[in-house]
Structure 1
Amino acid sequence: MTTNKPVALVTGASSGIGKAAALALVEAGYDVVGTSRDAAKAGPLPGVTFIDLDVADDDSVTAAVGEVIERFGRIDVLVNNAGFGSGGAAEESSLAQDRKVFDINVFGVLRMTKAVLSHMRSRRSGRIVNISSIVGFIPMPYMAVYAASKHAIEGYSESLDHEVREHGVRVLLVEPAWTNTSFEANATQPDHPLPIYARQRRAFEQQMAEAVKNGDDPAIVAKAIVAAATDVKPKLRYAAGQSGRVHTLRRLAPAGIFDRQIRKLNGLPA
């Protein structure tokens, strides 16, 4: 079938930010396709069609994008939301574990983006909205690998946006702060924990659990995603919720003061 309505493809739409974004895009007038590694267990969500997708698998990505184009005739917006967290000191995770984080959080975004770009360029229209994080622009001890993956998405998105803007396609970033989802509970724990980091790691885990519990509602992030998808003159970056204040602090505060604040917030020695 084809549709005259704009079509949004949202990865990782079965829960959290992805679920909120899918519902908000339906409300904004989109036909929405949500993805999950097991679509049969996702939803149902009103107005959302679910399909199987593993962003870490080349064939799965190709098949999913092809299915959406065949069924709906178009993809106007891609929301690259699928991803997962990782905690622990950088020294405590194996390279295999680090690669898994990057394969989903970074290369998953690259796979999806490459799969839709030729379609969007041929139509001279499209938005790719990449979900970054507050740790995409600030450091976060005991989240080094996750922070690195989000820093990578920031640089990739900004560079790619310059390449494709003349072809009618925009690549935009949404930067949530801590959000009240299952992020912390689903984060990967280090596979080679070291006693030297145990006390501070536990302190960080407690702080993170509290930050997520008191974090922004996913609907706040979804609102920023809809804005990125629909604004006539979109911004490169959309800071969502509490993220906006931290963005301003990072931009304006002297480096030494910002560094001390990071250490203070994370209970690290001055």
Structure 2
Amino acid sequence: MAQQKVVVITGASSGIGEATARLLGQRGYRVYGGARDPSRAKQISGVKFGALDVTSDESVASFVAWVLAETGKIDVLVNNAGVSLVGPVENTSVNEAAKLFDVNVFGPLRMIRAVLPSMRNARSGLIINISSVLGFLPAPFMGLYASSKHAIEGLSESLDHEVRDFNVRVVLVEPTFTNTNLDVNAATTEAPLGVYARQAEATTKTVLAQIKSAPSPTIVADKILAAIEGPYKMRQPVGGQATLLSRLRRFMPAKAVDSSLRKTFGFGKG
């Protein structure tokens, strides 16, 4: 049983965030879940929900101040809130890309900046950033989403060096496709697919098939719990497929990885 550690989870009203809040609440953690509309969140024992928009400096500051006022500390931050975007890089507007990065990259940055002073003062803390297999192995037609996860990976590595002397560590949890609304209902770029239509539609069909047979968010929640309670390891792929892909990326020749990706997503040789 956890000794009433305080955990903050962003995007906690559905998917991976909800599954994690539920599991940690059951394990005795004091969980504070952030949601854009807390009234729509399901009631979970051991979990308090508060209004949180990670794209707003004011909302982030208010939420963190509320948690600290109630508890005096934040032991663990789980940066889970995220959005997806599917479409050709050429068709992605700067505005679409900016909105995605505002949630997926600047959102975690806002949360990290807000919680770090209390963690440093306590000389204790853990920041868990939800990345993705696409953070180290990009997929076609998910260029901007993959870019945002690459950014989170780089930010996390740099941050871990900076805060380690304060006994604060950073972890990357890297799921592959998960059966959540985020993956199933991913937004698409507004511009018509044009010359990319045939391949984009074939790739999307392949991805959706993988999502429908993908594990539930509970597998990611289990990994987050293990990251909190187990020995430290920065990169933590979720499940056998993600672990295999991580190893292939590290040890397979680049040409073989490239060919395998193209085959997976229905591209010809090239």
Task: Give the TM-score, by structure 1 length.
Answer: 0.96
- Greater shift, 127-136 or 250-259, is seen at 250-259
1:123 is aligned to 122
Larger deviation, residues 44-53 vs 58-67: 44-53
**Map of 1:86 onto structure 2:** 85
Answer yes or no: is the 8 Å Cα contact 1:28–1:226 preserved in 2: no
Aligned to 1:71: 70
Q: Distance in 2 between matches of 1:183 and 1:110?
A: 21
Of residues 215-224 and 127-136 in structure 1, the stretch that sits farther from structure 2 once superposed is: 215-224
Alignment size in residue pairs: 266
Match of 1:237 in 2: 235
Percent of counterpart pairs with the same letter?
48
Q: Distance in 2 between matches of 1:191 and 1:94?
A: 8
CA distance in 1, matches of 2:117, 2:208: 41
* CA positional deviation for 1:19: 0.8
Residues 136-187 of structure 1: per-residue CA shift (max 9 Å, x gap): 0102110000000000000100110011011010111000011111123331
Amino acid at match of 2:186: A
Partner SS state of residue 172, structure 1: strand
Whether the aligned pair in 2 keeps the contact of 1:221 and 1:240 (CA below 8 Å) is yes
Q: Return the alpha-carbon distance in structure 2 between the equivalents of residues 28 and 121 of structure 1.
A: 25
| 1:28, distance to aligned residue in structure 2 (A) | 2.6
Once the two structures are TM-superposed, the CA of residue 50 in structure 1 deviates from its matched residue by 0.4
Helix, strand or coil: the match of 1:92? coil
What does residue 39 of structure 2 align with?
40
Structure 2 Cα separation of the partners of residues 12 and 208 of structure 1:
23
Residue type of the partner of 1:118? P
Q: Could you tell me how far apart the structure 1 residues matched to 2:236 and 2:23 are? A: 16
- SS of 2:81's partner is coil
Matched ranges for 1:159-170 at <5 A: 159-170=158-169
Shift of 1:109: 0.6
Which residue of structure 2 lines up, in the alignment, with residue 193 of structure 1?
192
- Say which SS state the counterpart of residue 237 (structure 2) adopts: strand
- Asked if the contact 1:84–1:186 (Cα under 8 Å) also holds between the matched residues in 2, the reply is no
Secondary structure of the residue that 1:192 maps to in structure 2? coil
How many Å separate the matches in 2 of 1:248 and 1:37? 37
Q: What code does the residue aligned with 1:211 have? A: Q
1:132 alignment counterpart? 131
Structure 1 range deviating more: 207-216 or 259-268 = 207-216
Deviation of 1:34 (Å): 0.7
| TM-score scaled by length of structure 2 | 0.96
Using the TM superposition, give the Cα deviation of residue 29 of structure 1 relative to its aligned residue in structure 2, in angstroms.
2.1
Structure 2: which amino acid aligns with 1:122? Answer: N
> Once the 2 structures are TM-superposed, how far is the Cα of residue 194 of structure 1 from its aligned partner?
3.1
2: distance between equivalents of 1:156 and 1:28? 30
Distance 1:192 1:65 in 2: 38
The 3-state SS of whatever aligns with 1:226 is: helix
Aligned residue in 1 for 2:224: 225
Distance in 1 between residues matched to 2:84 and 2:67, nearest whole Å: 28
Q: Distance in 2 between matches of 1:93 and 1:177?
A: 23
C-alpha distance in structure 1 between counterparts of 2:98 and 2:109, whole Å = 14
Partner of 1:10: 9
- Offset, 1:27: 2.5
Distance in 2 between the 1:122 and 1:186 partners? 41
Aligned to 1:268: 267
Q: List runs of 5+ in structure 1 lacking aligned partners.
A: none
3-state SS, counterpart of residue 82 of structure 1: coil
- Does 176-185 or 74-83 show the bigger shift? 176-185
Q: Distance in 1 between matches of 2:200 and 2:257?
A: 22
| Counterpart residue type for residue 42 of structure 1 | A
